[in-house]
Structure 1
């Protein structure tokens, strides 16, 4: 059986806030999703943002991978046939 708590709504700046009991185990700064369904309010922890993968621990285990030099990072522009976009031919000179 679940516990029942009373909470108080109060004004915080231009918003309303709900003071929740410490017994719920929530931590300061947690983000919550609040949903209203037929006059009842439900809240649950919001999904966490995806974390970035830290590869620093495995960098040395792949000696064949080396950082690119500045020269290797510069790529030449490949030629593009821009005239194909507007349907004109490269032989037709337009003013």
Structure 2
């Protein structure tokens, strides 16, 4: 793991904001993506790097990922005649 940095959360209007250390290299006004995880942690990356982040995930699943299949993926039969003329949302 790389360097560890500390950050402060503070109130900004009706929101809370996160003050990031300058050493992380983010520029003022730069757009970032914050992805929450089920365990309460977060991932943060520059929006312009989203494609690289996605590609870095390719092949990162464990060997046993989906070993038991997808589970229940069945769908109910659809009455296509009844749905005619109804636009998709």
TM-score normalised to the size of structure 2?
0.50
Match of 1:25 in 2: 25
> In the alignment, what sits opposite 1:46?
47
Residue 47 of structure 1 deviates from its aligned partner by 3.4
What are the ranges of 5 or more consecutive residues in structure 2 without an aligned counterpart?
Answer: 50-89
Which contiguous aligned blocks of 4+ residues in structure 1 show a shift greater than 6 angstroms? none
The structure that has the greater radius of gyration is: 1
Compute the RMSD of aligned alpha carbons. 1.4
Give the secondary structure class of the aligned counterpart of 2:23. helix
Residue 2 of structure 1 is matched in structure 2 by: 2
Matches within 5 A, 1:75-90: none
Question: In structure 2, what is the Cα distance between the partners aligned to 1:40 and 1:29?
Answer: 24
The one of the two structures with greater contact order (alpha-carbon pairs below 8 A, sep at least 6) is 2
Aligned length in residues = 48
| Stretches of structure 1 lacking an aligned partner (at least 5 in a row) | 49-95
| Distance across 1 between alignment mates of 2:4 and 2:48 | 25
- Taking structure 1 as the reference length, the TM-score comes to 0.47
